[in-house]
């Protein structure tokens, strides 16, 4: 009897220790919250894990990307465990055929409906595990909204996807293809299968000129209405197929990273595009970009990799003036270079003279209130030391007529390197 009580007491103390450690872990993870939330978290630090449900949900949402802290939340109480469980099982990753066996475990525990994102990845030297026995279990995911494939040979599962993925085809809202492989027809057919798709991300495709008579016909579904992200060098046929797919491409946000040929996508999205993010290799790419059909765009973000490429002959005047949209509000210019001396020299230099026709055009058109923001990839302490010199360089650029297309003075905002990499 004594041994049983001793064992129960030791287990109770161990549970208390885990809860105490979890409370401190959660406290330090959430210490950046505002003052009101920190006062509420004081009860956790004091050892009392009870909080109103809405505050618990708010805190757990704040740390949704911190998996160790979410695991610590499960030791606090049932309320914390239920709130953290939804985030812990939000993403399900499959890296080989054995990973599909865990789907049955999720079903038995009643957690299969918590999965919102399905990631399937394999190494290049691994055999393809997208075969009928494994694809057959995908019907268990009834609430998946994000689907991501890495190193995915599109041509392998196409003949069976129509039979085993009816639920996924209707629930998926965001599709990400990283390093996919297949023909243009196969990729277009695979993308068009998802009837309610809103966001599309394609990263560095490997186009294989393969003719496969088993490829189904491209389905007709509602057009995209979310975000398009393209990274890498794309085949011209794929861009044309994407632009002409379904009833038209209607992305509101277009993010083109290092795309040499992107005019077809911009022309296809011109009627609905509200936000453009581009990564031109030099000023010539920026000048060749034609946005004359973009009448609803209100935000433009240009990301350069060096100040020398960002500011030769100031191409931003012609670039922004060519946009017919009267709704244009912000132009964010981000440079990944930290050479502030070069920036001061280029901003303070005299721009190239304009032709008479360009001057007459500028005089005829009224100036628009476009907010120009320069984002620099430098440390905050370094930026504070050079802010006055950069502001003087901006003043010289205004005197030289560099920013005469806008009524507002250009602003300078410093973004840390982490922000620029995420952007």
Secondary structure (DSSP) of 281-295: SSHHHHHH---TT--
> Are 192 and 319 within one domain?
no
Residue 239 CA to residue 228 CA, distance in Å, equals 12
Inter-helix orientation angle 2-29/35-45, to 10°: 160
* Of 80, 88, 89, 15, residue with least CA distance to 49: 80
Classify 94 as helix, strand or coil.
strand
17-49 pLDDT per residue, tens: 454 555 555 555 555 444 545 555 555 544 455
Q: Say which residue, 370 or 150, is predicted with more confidence.
A: 150
Range of the domain at 27: 13-85
Asked if residue 94 is part of any domain, the answer here is yes
Choice among 103-107, 341-345, 355-359, 375-379 with the minimum mean pLDDT: 355-359
> Are 74 and 166 within one domain?
no
Is residue 353 within 8 Å of 391, Cβ to Cβ? no
Q: Say which residue, 151 or 395, is predicted with more confidence.
A: 151
> Are 401 and 334 within one domain?
yes
> Are 301 and 352 within one domain?
yes
363-to-225, 290, 329 alpha-carbon distances in Å: 37, 22, 21
Asked if residue 338 is part of any domain, the answer here is yes
Asked if residue 259 is part of any domain, the answer here is no
Backbone φ and ψ for 184, nearest 5 degrees, come out as -60, -40
Predicted confidence at residue 213, as pLDDT, reads 55
Q: Say which residue, 174 or 189, is predicted with more confidence.
A: 174
- Return the DSSP state at 265: H
Asked if residue 243 is part of any domain, the answer here is no
Whether 172 has a pLDDT exceeding 70, the answer reads yes
Predicted confidence at residue 362, as pLDDT, reads 46
* Of 228, 204, 227, residue with least CA distance to 150: 204
Whose tokens are 């041994």? That residue is 3
Q: How many other C-beta atoms are found inside a 10 Å radius of the C-beta of residue 34?
A: 7
> Are 79 and 136 within one domain?
no
Predicted confidence at residue 423, as pLDDT, reads 31
Beta-bridge partner residues of 277:
255, 301
158-to-55, 86, 183, 208, 304 alpha-carbon distances in Å: 45, 31, 12, 15, 39
Of how many residues is the chain composed?
Answer: 423
> Are 107 and 150 within one domain?
yes
Contacts of 278 (CB under 8 A, 6+ apart): 255, 256, 262, 286, 289, 300, 301, 302, 303
Is residue 232 within 8 Å of 258, Cβ to Cβ? yes
> Are 384 and 407 within one domain?
yes
> Are 77 and 113 within one domain?
no
β-pair type (330-335, 371-377)? parallel
- Looking at 29, 59, 85, the residue that finishes a domain is 85
Beta-bridge partner residues of 301:
277, 332
Structure tokens at 85: 């469980």
Backbone φ and ψ for 371, nearest 5 degrees, come out as -85, 115
Whether 255 has a pLDDT exceeding 80, the answer reads yes
Residue 88 CA to residue 106 CA, distance in Å, equals 12
* Of 206, 177, 199, residue with least CA distance to 190: 177
Per-residue confidence band for 62, with pLDDT thresholds at 50, 70 and 90: confident
Residue 361 CA to residue 365 CA, distance in Å, equals 6
Per-residue confidence band for 238, with pLDDT thresholds at 50, 70 and 90: confident
Whether 191 has a pLDDT exceeding 80, the answer reads yes
378-423 pLDDT per residue, tens: 565 565 666 666 667 667 666 665 555 555 555 555 544 333 333 3
Contacts of 341 (CB under 8 A, 6+ apart): none
Ranked by mean pLDDT, the top range of 32-41, 170-179, 324-333, 369-378 is: 170-179
Sign, Cα dihedral of 402, 406, 412, 414: negative
Q: Which CATH number goes with the domain that contains 141?
A: 3.80.10
> Are 79 and 98 within one domain?
no
Asked if residue 291 is part of any domain, the answer here is yes
- Looking at 63, 85, 107, the residue that finishes a domain is 85
Residue 376 CA to residue 414 CA, distance in Å, equals 5
Per-residue confidence band for 10, with pLDDT thresholds at 50, 70 and 90: very low
As for how many domains the chain has, the answer is 3
Secondary structure (DSSP) of 312-371: SS-THHHHHHT---TT--EEEEEE----HHHHHHHHHSPPPPPPHHHHHHHHHSPPB-PE
Whether 111 has a pLDDT exceeding 80, the answer reads yes
> Are 75 and 40 within one domain?
yes
> Are 151 and 226 within one domain?
yes
């Amino acid at each position: 009897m004594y041994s049983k009580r001793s064992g129960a007491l030791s287990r109770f103390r161990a549970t208390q220790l885990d809860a105490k450690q979890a409370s401190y872990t959660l406290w330090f993870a959430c210490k950046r919250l505002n003052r009101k939330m920190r006062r509420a978290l004081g009860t956790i630090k004091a050892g009392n894990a009870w909080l109103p449900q809405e505050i618990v949900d708010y805190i757990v949402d704040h740390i949704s990307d911190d998996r160790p802290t979410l695991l610590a939340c499960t030791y606090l109480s049932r309320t914390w465990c239920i709130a953290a469980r939804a985030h812990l099982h939000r993403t399900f990753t499959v890296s080989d055929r054995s990973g599909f066996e865990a789907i049955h475990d999720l079903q038995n525990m009643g957690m299969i409906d918590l999965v919102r994102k399905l990631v399937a990845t394999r190494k290049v030297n691994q055999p393809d595990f997208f075969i009928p026995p494994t694809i057959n279990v995908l019907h268990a995911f009834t609430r998946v909204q994000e689907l991501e494939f890495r190193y995915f040979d599109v041509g392998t599962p196409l003949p069976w996807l129509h039979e085993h993925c009816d639920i996924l085809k209707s629930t998926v809202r965001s599709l990400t293809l990283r390093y996919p492989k297949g023909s243009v027809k196969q990729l277009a057919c695979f993308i068009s299968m998802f009837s309610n798709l809103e966001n599309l991300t394609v990263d560095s495709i490997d186009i294989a000129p393969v003719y496969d008579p088993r490829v189904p016909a491209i389905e007709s579904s509602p057009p995209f209405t979310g975000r398009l992200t393209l990274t890498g060098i794309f085949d011209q046929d794929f861009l044309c197929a994407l632009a002409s797919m379904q009833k038209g491409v209607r992305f509101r946000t277009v993010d083109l990273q290092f795309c040499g040929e992107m005019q077809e996508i911009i022309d296809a999205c011109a009627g609905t595009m509200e936000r453009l993010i581009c990564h031109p290799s030099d000023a010539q790419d920026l000048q060749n970009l034609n946005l004359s059909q973009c009448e609803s765009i209100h935000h433009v973000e240009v990301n350069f990799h060096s100040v020398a490429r960002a500011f030769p002959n100031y191409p931003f005047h012609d670039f922004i003036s060519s946009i017919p949209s009267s709704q244009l509000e912000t132009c964010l210019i981000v440079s990944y270079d930290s050479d502030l001396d070069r920036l001061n020299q280029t901003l303070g230099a005299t721009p190239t003279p304009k032709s008479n026709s360009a001057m007459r055009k500028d005089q005829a058109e009224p100036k628009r209130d476009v907010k120009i923001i320069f984002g620099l990839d430098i440390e905050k302490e370094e930026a504070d030391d050079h802010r006055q010199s950069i502001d003087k360089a901006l003043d010289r650029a205004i005197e030289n007529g560099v920013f005469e297309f806008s009524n507002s003075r250009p602003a300078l905002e410093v973004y840390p390197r982490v922000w620029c990499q995420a952007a």
